[in-house]
Structure 1
Amino acid sequence: MLNQIRSAIVLTLILTVVTGLLYPLTMTGIGQTLFATQANSSQIKRGDTIVGSSLIGQNFTSDIYFWPRPSATSPDPYNAAASSGSNLGPTSAALVERVKTSVESFKAAGVTTAVPADAVTSSASGIDPDISVDYAMLQVARVAQARGLDPEAVSQQVKANTRQAVLGIFGEVGVNVLALNLALDDLKK
């Protein structure tokens, strides 16, 4: 009986050291060595100041900036602590009404083309930092006018900040809104 208790205690201690100390420290070391940016929240800095993360969207509302897709976090948009989807399905009357209202506001602003889905719907996390190239291109004229820039220069920034699918098949083509807006801010400097 004592042999079994001793074996259980020794095994518990060994597994605690291996799974509670060695494994986490090894994974942290590998993460910091091979994937330091990702392991440290993909921070975007301007000088010594952290201005955001490439993984979490921000609520840009000024006309001089590209706008992100709608956020599902309420009442504060892009609140990472409240990350979740809206849980509104395609048959939800509230979702249909919100999308219709959003599309009508784009049409009232002079948009004559189809409005991309990501311009009027939130992502599953509610804090997606990326938008589609179509949604970004839809905003080029507004941003160019607000900044006093040539629309072609703004369009070039969209193209320069477009992230391609990894190996052409993994992930979606998209534009990180924070990176694009920071690149536009740098144009004026």
Structure 2
Amino acid sequence: MKNHLSPAIRLTVALLILTSVIYPLVVAGIAKLAPGGGAGETVTVKGRVVGYARIGQKFTEDRYFNSRPSAVDYNAASSAGSNKGPSNPDYLKAVQARIDTFVVHNPGVQKSEIPAELVTASGSGLDPDLSPAAAMIQVRRIAKVRGLATERLNQLIDEHTKGPLLGLFGPSTVNVLALNVALDELK
């Protein structure tokens, strides 16, 4: 038994140092090379931080593009999904309530036209992006509230649409915070 105990303790200590000290230091060092130095990429307007580029935020006013719903109420400290399946009655009620709210705030939009991402929360609960289609379906509401031409809002969406990674991987996306900041800057 003594022959097995000593190597087991040494291996445990070595793995503890590797996974609790060395690995986190390496990851933190790599993060320092990222935009924002690992502290997050802030979005600043007129010298004031208005949010983070990679964390979804709540926009519910009719004058703004709505974000994707969040299962954690946009709390970055508790990033998570709801873990409710598509047949869960509570989940279905929440989705139906989001659909009903969307239709009330976007008259003329049919239930079948609403992109799923506008009524279902993402896995992290903090998705900062929408598809261009999810942004476009909100244009009539925003144009009416702000007194802007729909063509100008469509152009704004096009200007803020990022294509797939390397032109091959993933969907095109629109960052909701960047889009709303640009919307506020329109005259």
**Shorter-chain TM-score range:** 0.7 to 0.9
Distance 1:45 1:106 in 2: 29
Q: Which residue does the alignment assign to 2:77? A: 81
Deviations 1:120-150 (A, max 9, x none): 1000111111112111001011111111111
- Shift of the 30–92 alpha-carbon distance from structure 1 to 2, 3 Å rule, reads closer
- Shift of the 29–150 alpha-carbon distance from structure 1 to 2, 3 Å rule, reads same
Distance 1:55 1:98 in 2: 25
Q: Which residue does the alignment assign to 1:183? A: 182
Distance 2:54 2:36 in 1: 11
Indicate the larger mover: 135-144 or 88-97.
Answer: 88-97
Percent identical residues? 42
TM-score (ref. length: structure 2): 0.79
TM-score (ref. length: structure 1): 0.78
Q: Tell me, which stretches of 5 or more residues in structure 1 are unaligned?
A: none
Indicate the larger mover: 24-33 or 43-52.
Answer: 24-33
AA of the residue aligned to 1:116: P
CA RMSD of aligned residues (A): 2.7
AA of the residue aligned to 1:51: V
1:70 partner SS: coil
Query: In the alignment, which of 87, 99, 104 is matched to residue 103 of structure 1?
Result: 99
1:148 is aligned to 2:147: yes
Distance 2:144 2:70 in 1: 25
Deviations 1:76-107 (A, max 9, x none): x2111222111111111112222233323434
1:32 is aligned to 2:32: yes
AA of the residue aligned to 2:161: T
Question: Cα offset for 1:175?
Answer: 1.0
For residues 4-43 of structure 1, the aligned pairs below 5 Å read 20=21, 28-33=28-33, 35-37=34-36, 39-43=38-42
Question: Cα offset for 1:174?
Answer: 1.3
For residues 66-145 of structure 1, the aligned pairs below 5 Å read 66-73=65-72, 77-108=73-104, 109-112=107-110, 114-145=113-144
Q: How many residues align?
A: 173
Distance 2:96 2:24 in 1: 48
Q: Which residue does the alignment assign to 1:48? A: 47
